[in-house]
């Protein structure tokens, strides 16, 4: 073989080796490319899976957040409804003594339904200082106050039962207070009525016998006084005989009235038409009122009450008589009115007997119903006491006040008769 042949054979071998190397490298490249594409696909699937999982978790969290928000809103609405519909007053004092909550019932009980109740509790409760005092006592002592009875309103007419608890975290400092209060006026009124009934009963038991003895003695004195003949006496003694007779007559009337007041009331209960009672009471004084140029009238919405017709007529006749005598002593033309209205919600009939006389002496106050307490020069002090006894015996209530004309006004509340009420004796 020639040198050229060897050279050609060598070149061919080199080309073959190079071709093999190139082919192997190409195959390796293709294989790497395939592996790379396969890895890319596999990596892309994991990314999509992870993204889907994260999205699902986020959606669940959003749903839970939405559900929690709805529950919080529902809870807040429920709390608001509970607070708004409480029949008791709720007052919450927060930091720095600011009022955070005062529900509608609380504003009504405190007489401030439309007032601005934001601010410091002392300012908000300026018209109910006793309540502010209880809250301050609780926050200062850091101890709860339970069932404290206080009086608020004009003249202390509203009785409240108050419970106050301090607000704090653990044993930390007091940060506020929660105050619950309710109207005890009806309970206090009932207790007063029961005490009054008991007092009247005891008074009757203690004095009835004594009054009988007085009446018997007066009857004897009166009889002897009648036997005295003024015509057979010296002229200077005649006025004394007349005075003795007049005084014994007056004392007999006082004792008789007191016996009527002191003796236990025997009621024959049944439905009583209060329009008829009012008109008859007005008629009892109409003649005397007219003779003085005045007028008496009965008006308003009437209804039946459960009571004793005879005693109720006596009570309202006494009230009209009292009004007439008050106007007469003050030398005023009498204007007497009996006005009635039905309070179906409270189950009572409300009547007001008013006049244009001088009114009730403020110094007397509620003592005007006590026996032998009177503001008139010729009064015995038993007429209004007997009226109160009759009304209280009927489970009613009577209070004294001032009329629009400046005279006296007696407010009477009597229980309405239930449908089909039957007659009974108590």
* Domain positions in the chain: 1-85, 89-183, 186-264, 266-426
- pLDDT of 405 over the 80 cut: yes
Question: How big, in percent rounded to 5, are the helix, strand and coil portions of the chain?
Answer: 55, 20, 25
pLDDT value at position 425? 41
Which range, 36-50, 246-260, 348-362, has the best average confidence (pLDDT)? 348-362
pLDDT-derived band at 95, boundaries 50, 70, 90: confident
More confident residue, 365 or 43: 365
Return the C-alpha torsion angle 36, 40, 46, 49, nearest 10.
-160
272 neighbors 307 (Cβ within 8 angstroms): yes
89-183 adopts what CATH topology? Beta-Lactamase (3.30.450)
Which CATH number is associated with domain 266-426?
Answer: 3.30.565.10
Number of CB atoms found within 10 A of residue 342's CB: 16
pLDDT band at residue 376 using 50, 70 and 90 as cut-offs: low
Inter-helix orientation angle 185-227/238-262, to 10°: 150
pTM higher than 0.85: no
pLDDT band at 170 (very low <50, low <70, confident <90, very high): confident
pLDDT in tens, 69-85: 777 676 666 666 666 67
Token couple for 168: 């704090």
Higher-confidence residue of 65 and 167: namely 167
The encoded tokens of residue 197 equal 């009934």
Q: State the pLDDT at residue 4.
A: 42
Digit-coded pLDDT (tens) for 297-306: 999 999 999 9
- Name the one residue in this structure whose structure tokens are 């009012």: 278
Among the listed ranges 238-252, 324-338, 396-410, which one has the minimum average pLDDT value? 238-252
More confident residue, 186 or 339: 339
pLDDT at 272 over 90: yes
Strands 295-300 vs 335-343: parallel, antiparallel or unpaired: parallel
More confident site: 210 or 353: 353
**pLDDT given at position 49:** 56
What is the full DSSP assignment across 368-404?
GGSTT--SSTT--S-HHHHHHHHHHHTT-EEEEEE-T
Candidate from 7-21, 53-67, 130-144, 246-260 with smallest mean pLDDT? 7-21
What confidence score (pLDDT) does residue 353 get? Answer: 97
Q: In DSSP terms, which residues pair with 93 in a beta bridge? A: 99, 177
User: Do 132 and 164 contact (CB within 8 A), yes or no?
Assistant: no
At residue 92, φ and ψ (nearest 5 deg) are -115, 125
Top pLDDT among 88 and 170 is at 88
Which pLDDT value is given to residue 296?
95
Determine which of 48-52, 173-177, 288-292, 367-371 has the lowest per-residue pLDDT on average: 48-52
Please, what is the average pLDDT of the chain?
79
User: What's the confidence (pLDDT) of residue 187?
Assistant: 82
- Backbone dihedral angles phi then psi of residue 304, each to the nearest 5 degrees: -80, 145
Query: Between residues 285 and 2, which one has the greater pLDDT?
Result: 285
Domains 89-183 and 266-426 are alike in CATH topology: no
In angstroms, the CA 86 to CA 278 distance is 40
Average pLDDT over residues 4-21: 49
pLDDT reading at 3 higher than 60: no
pLDDT higher than 70, residue 396: yes
Is the per-residue pLDDT at 30 higher than 60?
A: no
Which percentage of the chain shows pLDDT scores above 70? Answer: 73
423 pLDDT above the threshold of 60? no
pLDDT at position 354: 96
Q: Determine how many CB atoms are found less than 10 A away from the CB of residue 40.
A: 10
Is the pLDDT score of 231 beyond 80?
no
Backbone torsions φ then ψ of 409, nearest 5 degrees: -140, 125
Indicate if the pLDDT at residue 321 is higher than 80.
yes
Q: How far apart are alpha carbons 245 and 379 in whole angstroms?
A: 19
The pLDDT, as a whole number, for residue 5 is 44
Question: pLDDT-derived band of residue 269, with 50, 70 and 90 as boundaries?
Answer: confident
């Amino acid at each position: 073989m020639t040198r050229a042949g060897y050279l050609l054979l060598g070149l061919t071998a080199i080309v073959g080796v190079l071709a093999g190397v190139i082919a192997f490298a190409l195959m390796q490249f293709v294989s790497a490319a395939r592996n790379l594409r396969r890895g890319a696909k596999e990596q892309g699937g994991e990314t999509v899976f992870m993204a889907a999982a994260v999205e699902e978790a986020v959606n669940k969290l959003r749903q839970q957040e939405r559900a929690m928000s709805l529950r919080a809103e529902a809870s807040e609405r429920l709390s608001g409804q509970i607070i708004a519909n409480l029949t008791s007053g709720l007052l919450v004092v927060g930091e720095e003594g600011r009022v955070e909550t005062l529900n509608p019932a609380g504003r009504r009980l405190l007489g401030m339904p439309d007032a601005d109740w934001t601010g410091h509790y002392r300012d908000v409760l300026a018209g109910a200082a006793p309540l502010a005092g209880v809250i301050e006592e609780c926050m200062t002592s850091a101890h709860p106050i339970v069932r404290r009875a206080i009086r608020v309103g004009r003249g202390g007419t509203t009785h409240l039962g108050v419970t106050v608890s301090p607000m704090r975290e653990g044993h930390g400092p007091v940060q506020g207070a929660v105050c619950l209060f309710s109207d005890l006026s009806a309970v206090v009124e009932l207790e007063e009525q029961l005490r009054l009934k008991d007092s009247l009963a005891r008074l009757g038991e203690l004095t009835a016998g004594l009054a009988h003895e007085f009446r018997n003695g007066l009857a004897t004195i009166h009889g002897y006084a009648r036997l005295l003949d003024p015509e057979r006496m010296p002229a200077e003694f005649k006025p004394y005989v007349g005075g003795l007779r007049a005084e014994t007559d007056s004392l007999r009337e006082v004792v008789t009235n007191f016996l009527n007041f002191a003796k236990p009331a025997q009621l024959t209960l049944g439905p009583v038409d209060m329009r008829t009672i009012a008109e008859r009471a007005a008629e009892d004084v109409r003649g005397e009122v007219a003779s003085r140029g005045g007028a008496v009238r009965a008006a308003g919405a009437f209804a039946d009450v459960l009571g004793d017709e005879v005693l109720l007529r006596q009570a309202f006749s006494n009230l009209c008589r009292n009004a007439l005598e008050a106007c007469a002593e003050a030398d005023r033309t009498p204007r007497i009115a009996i006005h009635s209205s039905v309070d179906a919600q409270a189950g009572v009939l409300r009547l007001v007997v008013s006049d244009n006389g001088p009114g009730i002496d403020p110094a007397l106050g509620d003592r005007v119903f006590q026996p032998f307490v009177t503001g008139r020069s010729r009064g015995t002090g038993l007429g209004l006491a007997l009226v109160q006894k009759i009304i209280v015996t009927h489970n009613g209530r009577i209070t004294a006040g001032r009329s629009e004309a400046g005279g006296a006004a007696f407010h009477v509340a009597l229980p309405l008769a239930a449908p089909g009420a039957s007659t009974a004796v108590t």
